[in-house]
A = this chain, B = another copy of it.
Amino acid sequence: MADQIPRVVVLRLPMYARVLSGLVKENRKVVSSQELGARLQVTPAQIRKDLSYFGKFGKQGSGYSVKKLLVELRSILGLDREWSVAVIGAGRLGKALIKYPGFAPQGFNVVGAFDNNPHLVNKKVGKVTVRSIDQLEDSVQELGINVGIVAVPAPEAQNVVSVLLRCGVKAILNYAPAVVQVPKDVQLREIDPLLALQSMTFYLKETRTPRRDRGVRS
């Protein structure tokens, strides 16, 4: 089935699930595609089309059952179970990720951390003890890792990714500012603030004023 769903739809579904979770907390029973659309800055038609890939969820004119749609979406996305995550790289960023309190409540449990710095190995960070990166290959099996988060410097990223691939990890979240290669059957997402910043300044050019021309405030 996965092949038949456009990638952009799959990228939007977690947002839908997040908004629906908010509606559950507000004790809302039913929501229209209009309201969902307004909350997500997507047209109602887009929402109906996205959801139609997975079956019929709402009745014409009566909206979606918030709880039912959320349960369905969580099942579709695989969010109704637990995933075991390894963080590779336990520097400043890696430590923040290991300790990030937002992962576990959503089913993503950081069960392993790895670094090649001997000062970090065997140190406790959050709930895990950092292992040597040499142990990564064995540990993926032992810990049942499904997802790898890569937080190493750019020149080491491809090596780490290659080890993860060799161990059969099929989902990689890459924080290293490097282009890494994975085969088609592996999911790769990049978290790259620089690329995000650099894709915004394109649009600022018309409005931008170099600081030195702005003059002194009197």
Contact = CB atoms under 8 A, between A and B. Distances in A.
Interface in A80-124: 81-85, 92-93, 96-97, 99-100, 102-103, 106, 108
A171 B200 contact: yes
Given A14-B194, A96-B93, A214-B144, A202 B77 contact: yes
A197 B81 CA distance: 13
B93 A203 contact: no
Interface stretch (A56-64, A129-137, A204-212): A204-212
| Interface hub of A82, A173, A194, A217 (most chain B Cβ within 10 A) | A194
A75 to B, nearest CB: 9
B179 A193 contact: no
A196 interface: yes
Contact of A106 (B142, B179, B198): B198
A78 B200 CA distance: 9
Contacts of A198: 13-14, 17, 77, 79, 106
Given A170-B203, A187-B200, 6 more contacts: A13-B199, A18-B177, A84-B211, A93-B96, A102-B177, A141-B217
